[in-house]
Amino acid sequence: MVTREDLNNIEGAQQEYTPGYHAGLVLNMGGPVFSVQPEVLLNQYNFRYTLSQGSRSGFAEGTINALEVPVLLKASFGGRTLRFFVNGGAFGTYFLNGRVKGVATLNNLAIDLSGPIEREGFSERFGYGVTGGLGLSVRLGPGNLLLEGRYNYAIDNTQRTSEGETKARLYMASLGYLIPLGGR
């Protein structure tokens, strides 16, 4: 079992960018300019740490799967064919599962870092924060092609390391197709 603290307390480790994905359902309620948009998203966060310091070296990479529920206020501008939008709101997230694989070497002794990532109890599994983004919606057939950039900032998810505290931050890019279910 590998805990979040195990990965965050490897002194001198460098985190590298690794893309993940998200997929989900969106419900947009309201008028053509202002609306409320709740979503249910399945997010996959990937990570990779590397370490190379004298007699210490290693890597760890893994995946975390989480269910995220943002509730956004959305303002849309433009014509029927091309619309720009800005949104912002709050989100809650629930850790589903995770796995890490890796090896650390200290004075020529290899240590296996592989295993499931564990979060104990509801407070370790649940998180919340604020989110906001900008996007473009283009009319395409019966629905709209959507391109959006979004930023998530976790308020509760403080990670303490030997170098201080950090908050989880995430940039997301979305490409999707929205199918209207009601008459609008």
Q: Is the dihedral of CA 158, 168, 75, 21 positive or negative?
A: negative
Residue range 111-140: average pLDDT?
A: 86
The pLDDT assigned to 70 comes to 97
Residue 29 pLDDT class (50, 70, 90 cuts): very high
Spatial contact of 145 and 174, defined as CB atoms under 8 Å apart: no
Residue 129 has pLDDT above 80, yes or no: yes
Under 8 Å between Cβ of 66 and 43 = yes
DSSP letters for 35-79: EEEEEEEEEEEEEEEEEEETTEEEEEEEEEEEEEEEEEEEEEEE-
- CB-side neighbour CA atoms (13 Å) of 72: 23
Structure tokens at 131: 């989110």
Give the model's pLDDT for residue 159.
55
pLDDT > 80? residue 120: no
Choice between 58 and 65, residue whose per-residue pLDDT is larger: 65
- Which pLDDT value is given to residue 104? 76
Average pLDDT over residues 78-99: 94
Q: Is the pTM of this model over 0.85?
A: no
In whole angstroms, give the CA distance from residue 77 to residue 30.
14
What pLDDT is recorded for position 131? 97
The C-alpha angle 74, 77, 81, rounded to 5 degrees, equals 115
Please report, for residues 114, 118, 178, the alpha-carbon distance to residue 18 in angstroms, rounded to integers and kept in the order given.
18, 21, 27
Q: Which residue has the higher pLDDT, 102 or 14?
A: 102
